[in-house]
Structure 1
Amino acid sequence: MAHLAIEGVSKSFGHTFAVSDFSLEVGDGELVCLLGPSGSGKSTLLRMIGGFERPTDGSIRIDARDVTTLPPERRPTGMVFQSHALWTHMDVFSNIAFGLKLRRLPKAEIRERVENALALVGLADYGKRAVTQLSGGQQQRVALARSLVLEPKILLLDEPFASLDQHLRERLREEVRDIQQRLGITTLFVTHGQDEALALADRIVVMRDGRTEQVAPPSVIYREPQTAFVAGFIGSMNFVESEIRDGICTHPLFSFSIPVADGPVMLAMRPEALTVRPASRSADAIVHRVTDFGMHKIVDIDLADGTRLKAMVAPGDMIRAGMTVAPSCSGFFAFRDNALIHQSAAAQAAAPMQPLYTA
């Protein structure tokens, strides 16, 4: 196990900063997910930790040792890339053994370690297979074994499942989490998939434009987002613009007491916090679409001002497209200039992390 300390790290390409003044500490055996949209600096940061990019500013320390300027082969890290990066002219055994041979280890030790690594990733009898004979998921297991066989202190995973189908991604991420916990290896996992981050991480680092938006455990990230960006990026969220006057939100459908200074406000409400009931007044809202996900339905609702909301209802609910409805909310967040200014008690207490639908 190992402790990782990133202090004030920045990386610029010309006049553009991919990562800006980033700091983070990762504890022994912790699995931290770097989560954010494309271009947020996740992979650049991971490559700097692995030694494939050199920071413009700042330092990176592993177990108190400064590794900022060390090349990848001199760092106690192992990296698994999205593209697998396997050598197709070698069989599975040779791919995994390659790094050990560079270290000039005895043949018997190499064989033992490779066989142990293959067993660890569930490919015990695949050593003589050609890489081209493997499925995408099997290739990713080989890439993982090739990193683990070197016994790194820190494992770096750069969107390793992005090219795989949904069911395979889910299975492999469970396997990776089991292996990580079994070995107790400190791990950083880059993803833009919120479901992967919520399923895998001890803590999530939400990144935006090379900076940190919020760092917290998955349940806190979901239930207590500190910025509007985090609220919208994790799970599904409805946003409604309004005003506060004398401590009251003036939106015609959502008149909440919000004890902050008067001014503009962005209301944020989870679909599971919205209740939908039929209404006779056409000014309320119109159901645009109902999508059945089996365990629940998602109702798309068009408001008079053009805003579209999503509400989660029970699978047996009789709401239909074209109906006039009156939505109400049991819990909400209020943001101003991207920062959280108020959160109702129900928003924190009632919001589950699942399901993460994509309707």
Structure 2
Amino acid sequence: MSQLTLKNLGKSFDETDVIHDVSLDVADGELVCLLGPSGSGKSTILRMVGGFEPPDRGSIIIGDHDVTHVPPERRPTGMVFQSHALWSHMSVAENIAFGLKLRRLSRADIREKVTNVLKLVGLDGYGARRVWQLSGGQQQRVAIARALVLEPKILLLDEPFASLDQHLRERLREELRDIQRRLGITTLFVTHGQDEALSLADRIVVLKSGKIEQVASPDRMYRDPQTRFVAGFIGSMNFIACDIRNGYADHPLFPIAVPVSDGPVELAIRPEALSIRPDTNSPARIHRTTDYGTHILVDITMPDGVRLKAMCPPSSAYKAGQPVALSADNVAIFRGEEKLATITPVASRSLTHA
């Protein structure tokens, strides 16, 4: 396989920059997810790598070759689209074989390669079927097989499971990850789903407005977000506004020592890092509880109207309206988009004792 390198990649539409000097290295055999909200530029980057969208600035290098101006049919890439892009008048085998025929391979070689890739994606024996006879998940497997049969150096996937139901989406992404590891193929995967990125990726690239916010492994991205945007975008996060005065957070619940300069900040606390306990003297009240089986998510209303979420064991017996005191195991401190510090552990006081 091969390494993918993006150097200062830029793109503009109608004189508006949509991709701003994006640089990224994807190692040989690595699966990297481009993650971000709609309009963040993730699909545009993928299309530029595949040759379907020309960059205005920068370069794209695959292995030792600059492919920036190479047309898509001559790039060592395979693309899988969200819409499958299969031909309904062709059989499954004919869809998969189309690119091989363009390369003028022999019928025997084409037959062998199609048979092997159908087995790889779990569709052995489906070659003679028409596309319209397949389920959505089977159609997506065909689209993946059509890309893989060309033996690309770089596999590109643009939200391939977005149109599928949750259970099928989870199963297919596990299968895809198994195939990717078995083949050792370098993969760039676009998604707007956090769970998908966290479960699939070796590394995640979070994009916002055409710029890279952070590049990190899934565990690092979740546990150590470097910007306020990433902290709020990845997983669930409680944000509490307060001021730092004389080295302490001026908040009745978390009057913690913070090694940053005085001024306004936000305390960021994950629901699983927020603990609650019954306290009849506390003005914080439970708004509602949601039982997810594996845990209970408790919504808490603070006296100033701010809502917080706490993740509790499934055996918890909290009820709406119940007063509770709170404490946190880990607090990140943000000023604007900049992360200033992480405080752990944190012992907090009851609101009534502040």
TM range (shorter): over 0.9
Are the structure 2 counterparts of residues 332 and 324 from structure 1 closer, same or farther at C-alpha, using a change threshold of 3 Å?
A: same
Output the TM-score relative to the length of structure 1: 0.95
Residues 16-38 of structure 1 deviation map (CA, whole Å, 9 limit, x = unaligned): 22211100001100000001111
Q: CA RMSD in A?
A: 1.0
Local SS of the residue matching 2:280: coil
Residue of structure 2 in register with 1:29 after alignment: 29
Residue of structure 2 in register with 1:301 after alignment: 300
Residue of structure 2 in register with 1:61 after alignment: 61
Q: Does 1:178 align with 2:178?
A: yes
In structure 2, C-alpha distance between the alignment counterparts of 1:112 and 1:129, rounded to whole Å: 17
Residue of structure 2 in register with 1:315 after alignment: 314
Residue of structure 1 in register with 2:118 after alignment: 118
In structure 2, C-alpha distance between the alignment counterparts of 1:7 and 1:226, rounded to whole Å: 22
Local SS of the residue matching 2:155: strand
Residue of structure 1 in register with 2:13 after alignment: 13
Q: Which amino acid aligns with 1:115?
A: T
In structure 2, C-alpha distance between the alignment counterparts of 1:229 and 1:49, rounded to whole Å: 26
Residue of structure 2 in register with 1:92 after alignment: 92
Deviation at 1:346, TM superposition (A): 4.3
| Alignment check: 8 A CA contact 2:91 2:127 kept | yes
Residues 97-119 of structure 1 deviation map (CA, whole Å, 9 limit, x = unaligned): 00001111100000000111101
Local SS of the residue matching 2:195: helix
Local SS of the residue matching 1:10: strand
Deviation at 1:204, TM superposition (A): 0.5
- Give the alignment of 1:183-332 within 5 angstroms: 183-281=183-281, 284-332=283-331
Q: Which amino acid aligns with 1:58?
A: G
Residues 141-191 of structure 1 deviation map (CA, whole Å, 9 limit, x = unaligned): 000000000000000000000000111111000100000000000000001
| Alignment check: 8 A CA contact 2:329 2:344 kept | no
Deviation at 1:195, TM superposition (A): 0.7
Q: Which amino acid aligns with 2:208?
A: R
Q: Which amino acid aligns with 2:70?
A: L
Name structure 2 gaps, 5 residues minimum: 347-354
Name structure 1 gaps, 5 residues minimum: 348-359
Residue of structure 1 in register with 2:349 after alignment: none
In structure 2, C-alpha distance between the alignment counterparts of 1:199 and 1:318, rounded to whole Å: 31
Output the TM-score relative to the length of structure 2: 0.96
Deviation at 1:43, TM superposition (A): 0.3
> In percent, how many aligned pairs have the same letter?
66
Residue of structure 2 in register with 1:154 after alignment: 154
Deviation at 1:231, TM superposition (A): 0.9
Q: Which amino acid aligns with 2:132?
A: T
Deviation at 1:281, TM superposition (A): 3.0
In structure 2, C-alpha distance between the alignment counterparts of 1:164 and 1:65, rounded to whole Å: 36
In structure 2, C-alpha distance between the alignment counterparts of 1:244 and 1:24, rounded to whole Å: 36
Aligned length: 346
